[in-house]
Amino acid sequence: MEDPQDQQVELAPGVAWREVLVLEDDQRSTLDVVLQHLGKIYGDNTPLTTLMSRFYARNQHRHETIRQYSLCLEELLQQILKHPSSLPDKDKTLRDRFIEGISSNSIKMELRREVRKDSDINFKDIKDEALELEGAIRMDSAEVITAELHQVGIPTAPVQSTTPKNPAFQEWQKTWRQHSPICNNKCCTCSLWLPWQH
């Protein structure tokens, strides 16, 4: 009587499953062996030099968030790490490439400052700082738009700020926050009272 597992493999469609069928029984016994065999046949055979070139050329695209950019960079690094002895210090390499590829000069300068303060800071901490800075800049942009809408008399909901507690960032942020002195409405930039909410 035929093994039910063999029947399932035989019913599976596609060339990859046909490759599994021609394996010896002992080679089909574990999933790891099967995946390793299929990886040799259908896996990514991109040369290391091409992968390294993609990694070092990758910059944040215009409408790409920092989170999307960092994920793409990490995926490229994972492909590189499949090759033996490809990178001596992967975390530092990833951290430095991440910083240099960020499109916002103000965020890039702040992250470089963080690395100068602590040369051992890891990629995760730098990425978290970059995400905070990106979020604060977006909030500030929303506040500027809200202030401009108030100036022309269009009511909007207040913007809740999630500004990082970093004193260096708060000092830097002051240059971003400027509210029109001729604003007829009090908004989240000049106070929390909004006349249309009462």
Tokens describing residue 77: 């690094």
Please report whether residue 66 resides in a domain.
Answer: yes
Residue 45, pLDDT score: 79
Q: How far apart are the first and last CA of the chain?
A: 80
Please report whether residue 105 resides in a domain.
Answer: yes
Tokens describing residue 150: 């108030």
Residue 193, pLDDT score: 35
Positions in the chain short of pLDDT 70: 1-13, 15-17, 20-21, 23, 25-29, 31-32, 34-35, 37, 85-86, 140-198
| Number of helical (H) and strand (E) elements in the chain, helices listed first | 9, 0
Residue 138, pLDDT score: 78
Residue 87, pLDDT score: 75
Please report whether residue 159 resides in a domain.
Answer: no
Domain hosting 29: range is 13-43
Q: What is the DSSP letter of 121?
A: -
Query: What whole-number distance in Å separates Cα of residue 136 and Cα of residue 163?
Result: 5
